Amino acid sequence: MQNSPLRYFKWEVRMKKLFNSFQLKCITIAMMIGGIYLQQILYKLNEEVLAAGGTMPKMQSLLYHMGYVVYLAAFPVAAFLLVEAAKKTSDRKALLKRLLVMGLLVEIPMDMATFGLAEWKNWGLNQNYFFTLSIGLGVIMAVEALAKKYAAGSMGNNLLTLLVYLLAALIAVLGRTEQGSVGVLTVICLFLFYGNKMFSLVSVAALYILFMGSANGLEYLPVLGILLVWMYNGEQGKADKMTRLVFYAAFPVAYCVLGVIARFL
């Protein structure tokens, strides 16, 4: 029958296998850049009103918060893509270097777009996602190095692994990286439960519910981003040198453009 339950079940299965790695990267980049653009442009348009203690018009306020949620919701997907790359790459050190370079390239344009050239004293209040991801990848590398030195499940391995987790979370907090310790623990959970989408979803959801609460509850919503992982089909997709170059250039260029736009609003 045309409208049988089996037909809908097959459609849902197809939905879960919708995106390859290249497409998820494109979606993540669009979410990060689109979210921050929506936030910053609306903030700049209402800056004088907000400085005087006023509020945005309701529709603009709704769009502003939507931008905030979309930006934050991109992180679980980015964390998953990092774990996927860490599992499949033969050179994790090179991957870590690329993340750190991206973090450095993005940080100054991001601060300029967010705070402006005159607000130099605010620079460094928070570090971008790439630093959070770098710490997460460092944890993966450290834990696997320990596994080679100490037997899995041994007391030495367990204690040192726990110490690595705690130290990484502390570095994220002290370094004020975006999403902080929760971001690093998100990477760890996705790595530990790699290959089990249900456990990945539940563990990350638990992290956000336990540690990202706020008065308006918006910090809970980023966990919805991990639902995109359910649609990952396990394929790499487009991955030539030009594509990687575009990915690396996207964030610095986008923030530089945003800084110019914000300057003249």
Instruction: Please report whether residue 193 resides in a domain.
Output: yes
Q: What is the pLDDT of residue 135?
A: 94
Q: What is the pLDDT of residue 184?
A: 92
Give the C-alpha separation, 32 to 36, whole Å: 6
177-235 pLDDT, tens digit per residue, is 888 888 899 999 999 888 887 888 888 888 877 776 654 566 666 677 777 888 888 88
b/e per residue 70-91 (b: at least 16 CB within 10 A): bbbbbbbbbbbbbbbbbeeeee
Q: What's the token pair of residue 219?
A: 């910090």
For the cut 50, the answer to whether the pLDDT of residue 18 exceeds it is: yes
Total count of domains within the chain: 1
For the cut 90, the answer to whether the pLDDT of residue 148 exceeds it is: no
212 Cβ contact list (under 8 Å, min separation 6): 179, 182, 219, 220, 222
Q: What is the pLDDT of residue 11?
A: 44
Q: What is the pLDDT of residue 216?
A: 57
Residue % of the chain over a pLDDT of 70: 83
CB atoms within 10 A of CB 107: 19
Instruction: Please report whether residue 11 resides in a domain.
Output: no
Instruction: Please report whether residue 5 resides in a domain.
Output: no
Q: What is the pLDDT of residue 140?
A: 92
For the cut 90, the answer to whether the pLDDT of residue 113 exceeds it is: no
Q: What is the pLDDT of residue 10?
A: 47
142 Cβ contact list (under 8 Å, min separation 6): 164
Helix-helix angle 180-192:129-149, to 10 degrees: 50
Q: Name which of 67-76, 160-169, 227-236 the model is least confident about.
A: 227-236
For the cut 70, the answer to whether the pLDDT of residue 249 exceeds it is: yes
Instruction: Please report whether residue 81 resides in a domain.
Output: yes
For the cut 90, the answer to whether the pLDDT of residue 102 exceeds it is: no
What's the rounded mean pLDDT across residues 154-181? 86
Instruction: Please report whether residue 2 resides in a domain.
Output: no
145 Cβ contact list (under 8 Å, min separation 6): none
What's the rounded mean pLDDT across residues 21-37? 89
**Model confidence band, residue 139 (pLDDT cutoffs 50, 70, 90):** very high
- Domain of 213 in residue numbering reads as 16-264
Q: Where are the alpha helices (DSSP H) in 116-240?
A: 129-149, 155-174, 180-192, 197-211
Nearest by Cα to 197 from 80, 26, 94: 80
pTM exceeds 0.95 for this model: no
